[in-house]
Structure 1
Amino acid sequence: MAPSFTPYPELFLAAVDSSITEPTCYSTAVKIPEWRTAMNLEFDALLKNHTWSLVPQSQARNLVGCKWVFRIKRKADGSIERYKARLVAKGFHQQPGIDYGETFSPVIKPTTVRTVLSIAISAGWSVRQIDIHNAFLHGTLSEDVFMSQPPGFNHPQFPSHVCKLQKAIYGLKQAPRAWFSKLSSRLLQLGFCGSLSDTSLFILKNASFTMYVLIYVDDIIITCSKATAIDDLLHQLSSDFAVKDLGKLNFFLGIEVLETPTGVILSQQRYILDILKRTNMQDAKPVSSPMASSTSLTAHEGPSFSDHTLYRSTVGALQYLSLTRPDIAFAVNKLSQFMHAPTLLHWQAVKRLLRYLKHTIQFGLHLFRSSCSDLQAYCDADWAGSRDDRRSTGSYCVFLGKNLISWGCKKQATVARSSTEAEYKALANTAAELKWLHSLFCELGVSISSPPTIWCDNIGATYLSSNPVFHARTKHVEIDFHFVRDMVANKSISVRFLCSKDQLADLLTKPISSSRFPLLRTKLNVLPIPLGLRGRVEDNAPRQLEQKYDKDKLKYAEEL
């Protein structure tokens, strides 16, 4: 084992050079060799792709500005992967109907990602990740867009000319749509079929293999029952795009995929650490639950919190964290209801949640290698839980075999006049999610062994789903009544009763006591990362710095 190394303060400062930071403007970045190299690479790629042609400037044209944006791409352990410079158009200069029209571009749904990963892991398929270099530059524009020349890269012979864009560029309002159209068209040419359930999922089936492609802008996951078929697909795509094979899936959209003997764990420990550092909570005292069981937040209590931006950015970051952490879904949903006017009490609740994340930073969502293909859901509602408008909070969680693939927590749109009504609305939302999942499974070619089961802890809602005995008293939920009744009648779903103490969705509807919370969290498969895979976040940063310091010290000695 290498000896521990603790540099003197002055040597420690010398090891940290300015290239580690991200510049905010071109004038700063041009002084640093790493960023100059990154800008040259980006500019060369733009020219090679024939992104624009230089034309004389005209006052009649709407001119869009541009700027350089600098980012340090890091690995899952926090070490630097590469320096990345991106030329970004100032899309806020664009005018609707003149230089852009439709802008919407779909991205893969988190539920689809978890579902496909669960299927692939259970079947033992190969799961790979690819990245498209300068993806947006491949999109073809249908509008005439004119942009100023990049800072620091004006043409010496035509310094006053402007760029007429022929391909999309980052920052343009229509760039994501143009890129997705380009990529999806190519996949359709290769024989893939676009999913109707999720337009960012593409499926290829033939006699020898089945392949799924999931697209989130330029980050793409590919899984296939035949590993060599993925190589063939990458070879075909490389003729049209600059494809970078990232190998086995291990880090996707800030989510680390850790392989274990029993499956994989989806972890966002690096992301949690970033949130804690941003809010100066990395040294906070940990707590065992995200919200105290006695907490009852309202919009009208407590003094106003002065920093609205900090509150909104922190809660927004926590919303993304809930992609792999169903245990914080209710707390995040509740805190999101006060974005417009947060109070000091709301910020204290946010800090409590951050303290819980400090306690569970090494937790993640476990996906097991389970061959079971049955679908079960749990639904629950907290009747009149909101003190402000007395609306109820409904929730559900859906399991494919042992794996949790979907969950939801949302305040209901209308006031429920009884607990049965609140529970039945939650039941209807769960039935709608199962209906969508059923259509997704049909497209994926996965057969469900039996009709999905919904477990509900309200006897009235359970009876109402199969018997019209309460219909006269529930005309105000008639649509939900008929929707669920039809699915039960044609045996698309089965609604069954279970005891409240076994209701897993209870964790998503209200604050749970610290004694019961860990049990429900475990049953939702939010488990600690095995000891052998820990330590990447906190321990690697000093190690990387020490390695860099040793290299700098050796280089300095050679120069002397």
Structure 2
Amino acid sequence: MGNDNSAVKKLKEHLHLTFHIKDLGSPKHFLGIEIARSDRGISLSQRKFVMKIISEAGLSGCRPSVIPIEQNAKLTYVGYDTGVSSSSDDPLLQDPSGYQRLVGKLIYLTMTRPDICYAVQTLSQFMHSPKQSHMNAALNIVRYLKTCPGLRILLSRKCNVEITAYCDADYATCPMSRMSITGFCIKFGESLLSWKTKKQSTESLSSAEAEYRSMAKTVCEIVWLRGLLLDLGAPVKGPTLLICDNDSALKLAANPVLHERTKHIEVDCHFTREKIQE
């Protein structure tokens, strides 16, 4: 990719001598992703892939769901007793391959559907020994997709070459490990460029610590994106705005004094502060 047409043409000719490539022009489909161009910009969707998932799941005639996953869904591993239901009420799936294939497709779908990221990362934890409740939750995501199968990501033509990032954390949300969930999204101008929902690797002792670890992960992604855009000849103007809604985490980023209660997160603190100073 680049903006030097002569160099692009010369590279294509060089590759053609070795690989016998064929230039198909502007892409319309790429690995299941549909690409559409308009005056507003480039939009990406996986509508055909979504319709295929709905058809294979046998839910073409079902009633759509308004949310991808229940707000207080307590999905657990095999043998973990929540006191809510017994193993007879929630048995193991006899053949887990169907669940694994469905969740695998949903993981690929998150490339253009950030709205299902949280639900999919939750279900992807149970790939080895899925239960009936896990399968029901996965089918609920499919029913949610039926409400808007053609939802698109728009890469807008209007771009101020600035990055804005949003991060948050759900404190101790995992009922089994009590680990927190990190979530962030990053916009380049008006376009959504990067997003992620992932369980944190260590337990946080407070909501402030969970939020601060979320900030640190987001800062890592910002640094990588700024470097990538610089390599592509589109350097970002000015500093990146990182938005967080936790006052304690923001004060940790601003206050250079580390007391004993923050020693265990000192690495994240130093890393984030260093990037703020830069």
Q: 485, 493, 507: which is aligned to 2:273?
A: 485
Report if aligned partners of 1:466, 1:489 keep a CA contact under 8 Å in 2.
Answer: no
Aligned-residue identity in percent: 38
In structure 2, C-alpha distance between the alignment counterparts of 1:251 and 1:227, rounded to whole Å:
23
Deviation digits for residues 53-76 of structure 1 (CA, Å, limit 9, x no counterpart): xxxxxxxxxxxxxxxxxxxxxxxx
Please tell me whether the aligned partners of residues 258 and 266 of structure 2 are also in contact (alpha carbons under 8 angstroms): no
Q: Provide the rounded CA distance (Å) in 1 between the counterparts of 2:5 and 2:46.
A: 27
Aligned to 1:234: 12
User: 2:154 and 2:206 mapped to 1: Cα distance?
Assistant: 36
- Aligned pair count reads 268
The match for 1:291 is 69
Where do residues 236-255 of structure 1 align in structure 2 (5 Å cutoff)?
Answer: 236-255=14-33
- The CA distance in 2 between the partners of 1:367 and 1:438, in whole Å, is 17
Output one character per residue of 1:113-172: Cα deviation in whole Å (capped at 9) or x when no partner.
Answer: xxxxxxxxxxxxxxxxxxxxxxxxxxxxxxxxxxxxxxxxxxxxxxxxxxxxxxxxxxxx
Answer with 279-288 or 341-350: which moved more: 279-288
Q: 1:468 aligns with which of 256, 259, 275?
A: 256
Greater relative CO, 1 or 2 (CA 8 Å, sep 6+): 2
Distance 1:392 1:237 in 2: 48
Output the CA distance in 2 between the equivalents of 1:395 and 1:470: 25
* Aligned with 1:334 (options 122, 125, 133): 122
SS at match of 1:423: helix
Q: Give SS of 1:385's match.
A: coil
Aligned equivalents of 1:254, 1:471: Cα separation in 2: 51
User: How far apart in 2 are the matches of 1:259 and 1:332?
Assistant: 29
TM-score of the pair, normalised by structure 2? 0.92
Q: How big is the shift at 1:226? A: 4.5
Mapped to 2, the partners of 1:454 and 1:331 lie a distance apart of: 24
Give, in angstroms, the shift of residue 485 of structure 1.
Answer: 1.3
Report if the CA contact (8 A) 2:159-2:190 is conserved: no
Aligned to 1:257: 35
**For the pair shown, which has the larger CA radius of gyration, 1 or 2?**
1
Q: Is it true that 1:383 corresponds to 2:161 in the alignment?
A: no
* Distance in 1, Cα, partners of 2:261 & 2:10: 61
Match of 2:216 in 1: 428
- 1:307 equivalent to 2:117? Answer no
Cα distance change of structure 1 residues 471 and 369 upon mapping to structure 2, 3 Å threshold: farther
Q: What per-residue deviation string (whole Å, max 9, x for no partner) do you get for residues 323-376 of structure 1?
A: 111011001000001112111111110011000111111111111111311111
Which amino acid in 1 is paired with 2:234?
V
Cα deviations by residue, 1:418-463 (Å, 9 ceiling, x for unpaired) = 0000000000000111111122122122222111111000000011
1:21-170 equivalences in 2 (<5 Å): none
User: Structure 2 vs 1, CA of residues 277 and 417 (structure 1 numbering), >3 Å: closer, same or farther?
Assistant: same
Which SS does the other structure have where 2:185 is aligned? strand
Q: Deviation digits for residues 461-497 of structure 1, max 9, x if unmatched? A: 011011034532111111111111111123xxxxxxx
Corresponding position of 2:138: 350
Pairwise mapping of residues 166-245 of structure 1 onto structure 2 (< 5 A)?
A: 212=1, 224-227=2-5, 229-245=7-23
Residue 273 (structure 1) aligned to one of 51, 66, 77 = 51
Map 1:6-25; keep pairs closer than 5 Å: none
Instruction: Give me the whole-angstrom Cα distance separating, in 1, the residues matched to 2:106 and 2:39.
Output: 29
- The amino acid across from 2:94 in the alignment is S
| Aligned residue identity for 1:398 | I
Higher strand proportion (structure 1 or 2) = 1
Amino acid in structure 1 at the alignment position of 2:20: A
1:325 maps to amino acid: R
Q: RMSD across aligned C-alpha pairs, in angstroms?
A: 1.5
**Quick one: which amino acid aligns to residue 266 of structure 1?**
L
Give the Cα separation in 2 of the matches to 1:274 and 1:407: 24
SS at match of 1:246: coil
CA distance in 2: counterparts of 1:284 and 1:447, whole angstroms = 48
The one-letter code sitting in structure 1 at the alignment partner of 2:223 is: K
Question: Take 2:56 and 2:95, find their aligned partners in 1: how far apart are those partners?
Answer: 14
Give yes or no for contact 1:423–1:458 (8 Å, CA) kept in 2: yes
CA distance in 1, matches of 2:3, 2:62: 46
Q: What SS does the corresponding residue of 1:378 show, helix, strand or coil? A: strand
Per the alignment, residue 317 of structure 1 pairs with: 105
Query: Which of 216, 233, 244 is equivalent to 1:456?
Result: 244
CA deviation after TM superposition for structure 1 residue 270, in Å: 1.0
CA contact (8 A) 2:226 2:235 kept: no
Residues 475-529 of structure 1: CA deviation (Å, up to 9, x unaligned): 1111111111111123xxxxxxxxxxxxxxxxxxxxxxxxxxxxxxxxxxxxxxx
Partner of 1:372 in structure 2? Answer: 160
Structure 2 match to 1:405: 193
Q: Which runs of 5+ in 2 are unaligned?
A: none
Stretch deviating more after TM superposition (224-233 or 470-479)? 224-233
Alpha carbons 2:54, 2:60 under 8 Å: kept: yes
Q: Return the offset for 1:227.
A: 4.4
TM-score (norm 1): 0.46
Q: CA separation of 1:366/1:356 partners in 2, compared to 1, >3 Å: closer, same or farther? A: same
How many Å separate the matches in 2 of 1:367 and 1:266?
8
Alpha-carbon distance in structure 2 between the residues aligned to 1:469 and 1:282: 58
| Residue aligned with 1:372, SS | coil
Cα pair 1:371 1:401 within 8 Å, conserved: yes
Q: Which residue of 2 aligns with 1:147?
A: none
Structure 2 partner of 1:204: none
The CA deviation at 1:229 is 4.7
SS at match of 2:126: coil
> In the aligned structure 2, how far is the partner of 1:233 from the partner of 1:488?
40
Q: Give the SS at the match of 1:317.
A: helix
**SS of equivalent to 1:352:** helix
The equivalent of 1:514 in structure 2 is none
